[in-house]
């Protein structure tokens, strides 16, 4: 196989610490994926600088500049098609993607969510977990479907909740877990994808 890596597009809205964990994972020549483009829907998002520092093409598509969600998502789709993208990784991308876009990229979008799904879908996950007095919290990488935070789970990582935790202290502990979970999940997806390609090449040779 000439180019045995999964090509990632990473979509962000903010500081991009999960993007950074993927950048660092991809810096290892043995990691089976590479980032081909980073797209932010917010101008000035911190993650754009991280992409630029790593020499990765970084684009801004300001959703407020589009008349509606559908026009924004059509442009996002076209931008992604300009790169050889195999998998779209949402990393703190704060727009809910509509069914039209999700269906075009079916089984090719993953997201990292700061809870142990199916618990605490949506926003304010840590505050809700603390209010419920749960013993463990965590994060999930899952495939994206048209229903929010509902797609098949790829991988999860849990952390303890401490008696004196605040939203901030719990969020910080979960974020550390996110930074190892996302690269691990992408690695697993990439290895499965490469195996499928190898098998189809063998069948084609047969």
What are the residue numbers of the active site?
113
In the chain, where does DSSP find H-type helix? 17-26, 46-53, 69-81, 99-104, 125-132, 167-205
Q: Mask of contacts with ligand GRF, 174-203, x by CB under 6 A? A: -x--x-------------------------
Q: Which stretch binds ligand GRF (CB under 6 A): 7-15, 128-136, 157-165, 183-191?
A: 7-15
Size of the site for ligand GRF (CB under 6 A): 14
User: What does each C-alpha distance from 16 to 27, 93, 158 come to in angstroms?
Assistant: 16, 9, 21
Give the C-alpha separation, 24 to 17, whole Å: 11
How many helical (H) and strand (E) elements, i.e. helices and strands, does the chain have?
Answer: 6, 7
Write out the two tokens for 84.
């050889």
114 binds ligand GRF (CB under 6 A): yes
Q: Which stretch binds ligand GRF (CB under 6 A): 10-18, 57-65, 102-110, 154-162?
A: 10-18
41 binds ligand GRF (CB under 6 A): no
Write out the two tokens for 89.
């990784």
- By CB under 6 A, name the binding residues for ligand GRF: 12, 14-18, 91-92, 112-114, 139, 175, 178
């Amino acid at each position: 196989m000439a180019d045995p890596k999964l090509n990632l597009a990473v979509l962000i809205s903010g500081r991009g610490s999960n993007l950074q964990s993927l950048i660092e994972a991809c810096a290892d020549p043995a990691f089976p994926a590479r980032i081909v483009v980073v797209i932010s829907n917010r101008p000035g998002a911190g993650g754009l600088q991280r992409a630029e520092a790593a020499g990765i093409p970084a684009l801004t598509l300001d959703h407020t500049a589009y008349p509606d969600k559908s026009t924004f998502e059509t442009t996002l789709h076209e931008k992604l098609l300009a790169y050889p993208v195999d998998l779209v990784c949402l990393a703190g991308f704060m727009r809910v993607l509509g069914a039209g876009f999700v269906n075009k990229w079916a089984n090719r979008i993953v997201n990292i969510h700061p809870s142990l799904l199916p618990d605490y879908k949506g926003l304010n996950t840590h505050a809700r977990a603390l209010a419920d007095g749960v013993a463990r919290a965590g994060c999930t990488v899952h495939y994206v479907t048209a229903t929010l935070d509902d797609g098949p789970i790829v991988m999860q990582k849990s952390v303890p909740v401490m008696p004196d935790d605040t939203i901030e202290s719990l969020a910080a502990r979960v974020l550390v877990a996110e930074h190892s979970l996302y690269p691990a999940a992408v690695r697993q997806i990439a290895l499965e994808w490469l195996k499928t390609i190898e098998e189809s090449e063998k069948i084609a040779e047969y």
